[in-house]
């Protein structure tokens, strides 16, 4: 009796084919700092010149159960963008500019075309984030995942100047909070979304919502804020990525113990998808689960607010006042 690796469910040839298929769009993310080419044992990246005392930051994340929706919808072109966004948007909150990205794609049986679409989305996200996709891992693990399922993880590294980090102006009473709109639900709260839309309401991914198929609305990729950050960086005192936990849990992460954030709910430009969900979910739960249409919140000096608004699609949503490091929604 003879048995092969392929008989056990692992197709090495499919993995090799995928590497060849993704080369063009991975290479499109390369810049002069990338060392070597696709296919090495590790990705190399030369640090940019001009930093006196560079500090590296790392961030890792996934897409959560939004991935399950993408699998059910057979729509694989956007979750890669989500993967990049969740990592690089966290990096910029530490004032680190993204340098490079790596991905991990795990599945029970590799579908080359599906994986190609996912990784193509990752490459598009990297281009938008102005970072290089220098490596990744595709793992085929029969028995670990149900047929058709796969999982994603992303890893991003960014750079900052140590002196700039140490001399950032402190947050003060009266500083203005500026909201940058989200593109949609982004990548948090999807367990609740799936339960509401498909279990409780019995809706279909093909149903229409606000003139679009529901699957397109729910799978709208997470917005990447890197270019906006780079443009506004000198005028930003702090910024918070509004992910799981919403405004009430993420905004306190940038606050000192002596200040509270006052957020005016009436000023938030809530998206229609959140207005719909709010018919079935308590308001407090909404603000603890979703971004409510706000993907990022910037804290700026009042003297810089006008310039920040002029150079972005942001809008004023609140301010800082004396307190104890919390958020007051009113």
DSSP helix/strand/coil, 16: helix
* Same-domain status, 92 and 149: yes
Contacts of 264 (CB under 8 A, 6+ apart): 317, 318, 330
Answer whether residue 9 shows pLDDT above 80: no
Work out the average pLDDT over 285-291: 97
Cβ contact 18:110 at 8 Å: yes
In degrees, rounded to 5, the angle at the alpha carbon of residue 172 between the alpha carbons of residues 168 and 176 is: 95
Percent residues over pLDDT 90 in the chain: 89
> CA nearest 101: which of 140, 127, 76, 138?
127
Answer whether residue 8 shows pLDDT above 70: no
What six digits make up the tokens of 28? 């499109």
Q: In this structure, what CATH number is given to the domain that contains residue 68?
A: 3.30.1330.10
Q: What pLDDT, in 10s, does the model give residues 101-141?
A: 999 999 999 999 999 999 999 999 999 999 999 999 999 99
* Same-domain status, 139 and 239: no
Residue where a domain terminates, one of 143, 166, 189? 166
* Same-domain status, 153 and 258: no
* Same-domain status, 15 and 162: yes
Answer whether residue 11 shows pLDDT above 80: no
Any domain includes 1:
no
Q: In this structure, what CATH number is given to the domain that contains residue 190?
A: 3.90.650.10
| Distance from C-alpha of 163 to C-alpha of 232, rounded to nearest angstrom | 19
Residue where a domain terminates, one of 166, 197, 218? 166
- Measured on CA atoms in the order 318, 298, 303, 165, is the torsion positive or negative? positive
* Same-domain status, 319 and 215: yes
Q: What pLDDT, in 10s, does the model give residues 243-287?
A: 999 999 999 999 999 999 999 999 999 999 999 999 999 999 999
Any domain includes 237:
yes
The 10 Å Cβ neighbour count of residue 112 is 19
| Distance from C-alpha of 228 to C-alpha of 88, rounded to nearest angstrom | 12
Please give the pLDDT value at position 7: 60
* Same-domain status, 115 and 26: yes
Task: Let me know how long the chain is.
Answer: 330
Which ranges of the chain does DSSP label H, i.e. alpha helix? 12-27, 66-73, 79-92, 112-129, 162-166, 190-194, 214-218, 226-232, 246-250, 272-277, 283-289, 302-310
Q: What pLDDT, in 10s, does the model give residues 192-249?
A: 999 999 999 999 999 999 999 999 999 999 999 999 999 999 999 999 999 999 999 9
Answer whether residue 19 shows pLDDT above 80: yes
Domains identified in the chain, total number: 2
- The range of the structural domain enclosing residue 316 comes to 176-329
φ, ψ (nearest 5 deg) of residue 194: -65, -40
Residue 236's H or E segment, with its range, is none
């Amino acid at each position: 009796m003879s048995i092969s690796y392929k008989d056990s469910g692992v197709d090495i040839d499919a993995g090799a084919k995928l590497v060849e298929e993704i080369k063009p769009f991975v290479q499109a993310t390369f810049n002069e700092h990338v060392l070597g080419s696709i296919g090495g044992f590790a990705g190399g990246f030369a640090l940019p010149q001009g930093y006196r005392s560079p500090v590296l930051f790392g961030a890792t994340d996934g897409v959560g159960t939004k991935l399950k929706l993408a699998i059910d919808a057979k729509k694989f072109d956007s979750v890669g963008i989500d993967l990049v966004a969740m990592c690089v948007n966290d990096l910029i909150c530490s004032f680190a500019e993204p340098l490079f990205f790596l991905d991990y794609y795990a599945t029970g049986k590799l579908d080359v075309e599906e994986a190609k679409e996912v990784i193509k989305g990752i490459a598009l996200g990297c281009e938008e984030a102005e970072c290089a996709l220098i490596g990744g891992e595709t793992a085929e693990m029969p028995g670990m995942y149900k047929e058709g399922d796969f999982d994603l993880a992303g890893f991003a590294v960014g750079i900052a100047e140590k002196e700039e980090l140490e001399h950032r102006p402190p947050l003060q009473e009266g500083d203005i909070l500026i909201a940058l709109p989200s593109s949609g639900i982004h990548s948090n709260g999807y367990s609740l979304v799936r339960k509401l839309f498909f279990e409780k309401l019995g809706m279909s991914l093909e149903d229409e919502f606000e003139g679009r198929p529901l699957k397109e609305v729910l799978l709208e990729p997470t917005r990447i804020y890197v270019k906006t950050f780079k443009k506004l960086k000198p005028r930003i005192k702090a910024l918070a990525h509004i992910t799981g936990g919403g405004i009430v849990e993420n905004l306190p992460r940038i606050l000192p113990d002596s200040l509270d954030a006052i957020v005016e709910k009436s000023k938030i430009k809530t998206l229609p998808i959140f207005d719909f969900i709010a018919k079935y979910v308590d308001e407090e739960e909404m603000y603890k689960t979703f971004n409510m249409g706000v993907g990022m919140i910037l804290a700026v000096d009042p003297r810089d607010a006008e310039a920040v608004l002029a150079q972005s699609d942001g809008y004023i949503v609140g301010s800082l006042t004396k307190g104890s490091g919390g958020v007051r929604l009113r």
